[in-house]
Amino acid sequence: MPEHTERGLVPAAALDETGAAIRIGTGGRLTLSGAVPDAADWFAWAAGRLHGLRVEPVHGEADVAVRTGADLSEFASVAPATGVDPRPEPGADERHRLEVAQGRALVSSAGAEGAFRGLTSLVQTLSVDADGNVWAPEGVLVDGPRYTWRSLSLDVVRHYFTPDEVRRVIDLMALYKFNVLHLHLTDSEGWRLESRAWPELTRPGPDGVREYYTREEFAGLVAHAARCHVTVVPEVDLPGHTRWAFDAYPELAGGVEYPHPRLRYLHPDSEPARRFAGDVIAEFAEAAPGPFLHLGGDEPFGMGHEDYVEFVRLAHRLVREEGKRAVGWQETARAGALGADDVLQYWIGAPDEFDPEAIKRTVPEEFHPLVEQAAETFRISPGDVPAATEKGVPVLLSPNSRLYLDRPYADGCADPAQEGDRGRLGLPAYPPITVEESFAWDPAEAAREAAPGTVVAGVEAAVWGETVTGFGDLAFLLLPRLPGVAEKAWTQQRTGWADHRARLNGHESLWEALGFANHFRPAT
């Protein structure tokens, strides 16, 4: 048999009874039958991009056949997913069966979304030899997700990524069965979604370059994501992280006196600030058809507690008036506004407690009072998840200790040329950890540690752009860690690092085919 590359499946399947690969196609081509048009188009694109294959739709017998409408009893060995369903049309069952036997592959599912996930498993594990023969592991996979919410938060503010670059990220997410892209679109450094009500928010930068998404471009991203069964959740971060908005519209202060010129936030006593919140929340709600809108709410540095509570409750009410359910960073639990239909995002994970004395040593003395104000918000953070859990609010797990992918790598580099990237990428305040250490956690355990009885909405990784200068930097921070996050969110049984690392062998070529050539290459 000519030599060909075999790679493991990531995330790991619930039931995997596959063995050595067998041939399912020849001449660098596969025939496909039974898939709905979007899934057929995606499979053809992915097989072509990842493996150089031609996929030809046919009627009747095919190398790859898709059968939807299967009875759910066929997947009874896999438990239904738990968590909060983030999709515009909730309830679709993602469980599926992939059988490779007698020279063909058969994907069975209850509906289109399960079939899409089964085709994803197949396209990951395909290989092509030098003669154009197409191979897939013989046997049976039965699979389905652990959680219904599996997501990545992408910061497009600190570094702007073009629509084409965001589409590349969506393609990578689809390959690893993520189903939510949380776009962090506003912050003190910029505003990335075109605003009709407040047009100066998306003014050109100092060099005259446009670095925001028009409404049409954003709609294109939402549509591309939907074809990959990924739901876009946009975030408008309020009431803090708004320096860019204040620079564009100083009148947002509304006569409010702030404790320091560098501390500005939307105050509930400011009529322009309240009007601004209503306008931008309406614009963001209109931009994406999913059921959720992220209202931010993190790091309200310098803001009085009662003022913060009042503003978060206002923002929550505005989100609900737009027909959306709210997601808020964990600090929003302090406002008591979120309910059982909303989601709290837990992010302040041990051992990364805020160290004010260390930070004071790195900043001028005039900023020390600001550091103390920031320290207070972190000091009380252990009470956030318990407060939400007591109210029955589901919790999206994003502990920065494991799931913030802008954390420096502790591993050495197999490629010495990457040592410079390793030294400059990742937030310096975070202690570096190895890729293995980033894998060493379990969602259920993390939820219990945050608060007994917590209902897990799902799992979300986050990558922030303070140190990012281009798409290659993003590739370096995301990979190889993002597939590990996918495994925690999707795979129902607990898997070990050695097994996960072994299944990742051969995935580097997939990343490079998708445009992530600068993925980190750890020494071990």
pLDDT (tens digit, 9 = 90+) per residue, 460-480?
A: 999 999 999 999 999 999 999
Rg from Cα positions in the chain: 23
What average pLDDT does this structure show over 85-100? 97
What average pLDDT does this structure show over 125-132? 97
CB–CB of 53/31 below 8 Å? no
Element (H or E) spanning 56, and its range? Answer: strand 54-57
Q: Which residues contact 258 (CB under 8 A, 6 or more apart)?
A: 264, 265, 302
On the question of pLDDT at 194 being above 60, the answer is: yes
pLDDT (tens digit, 9 = 90+) per residue, 252-304?
A: 999 998 877 778 999 999 999 999 999 999 999 999 999 999 999 999 888 99
Q: Which residues contact 426 (CB under 8 A, 6 or more apart)?
A: 406, 407, 408, 409, 432, 467, 477
Q: How far apart are CA 94 and CA 148, in angstroms?
A: 9
What average pLDDT does this structure show over 369-374? 78
Whether 165 is catalytic: no
pLDDT (tens digit, 9 = 90+) per residue, 36-62?
A: 999 999 999 999 999 999 999 999 899
Helical residues (DSSP H) of 249-349, grouped into ranges: 271-287, 305-321
- pTM for the whole thing? 0.96
pLDDT of residue 2: 43
Helical residues (DSSP H) of 101-162, grouped into ranges: 112-125
pLDDT (tens digit, 9 = 90+) per residue, 395-436?
A: 999 999 999 999 999 999 999 999 999 999 999 989 999 999
DSSP state of 19: E
On the question of pLDDT at 3 being above 70, the answer is: no
What average pLDDT does this structure show over 185-191? 96
Percent of the chain with pLDDT over 70: 98
What average pLDDT does this structure show over 233-261? 94
Q: Which range is least confidently modeled, 197-201, 289-293, 362-366, 475-479?
A: 362-366
Q: What 3-state DSSP class applies to 356?
A: helix
pLDDT of residue 1: 40
pLDDT band, residue 305 (cuts 50/70/90): very high
pLDDT (tens digit, 9 = 90+) per residue, 135-171?
A: 999 999 999 999 999 999 999 999 999 999 999 999 9
Q: How far apart are CA 500 and CA 38, in angstroms?
A: 30
One DSSP character per residue, 185-204 reads -EETTEE-B--SSSGGGG--
pLDDT band, residue 351 (cuts 50/70/90): low
pLDDT band, residue 357 (cuts 50/70/90): confident
pLDDT (tens digit, 9 = 90+) per residue, 489-515?
A: 999 999 999 999 999 999 999 999 999
Write down the mean pLDDT value for the chain: 95
pLDDT (tens digit, 9 = 90+) per residue, 434-456?
A: 999 999 999 999 999 999 999 99
pLDDT of residue 6: 74
On the question of pLDDT at 391 being above 90, the answer is: yes
pLDDT of residue 5: 65
pLDDT of residue 158: 97
What average pLDDT does this structure show over 21-41? 97
On the question of pLDDT at 177 being above 70, the answer is: yes
What average pLDDT does this structure show over 124-130? 97
Catalytic residue among 165, 189, 299, 508, which? 299
pLDDT of residue 386: 97
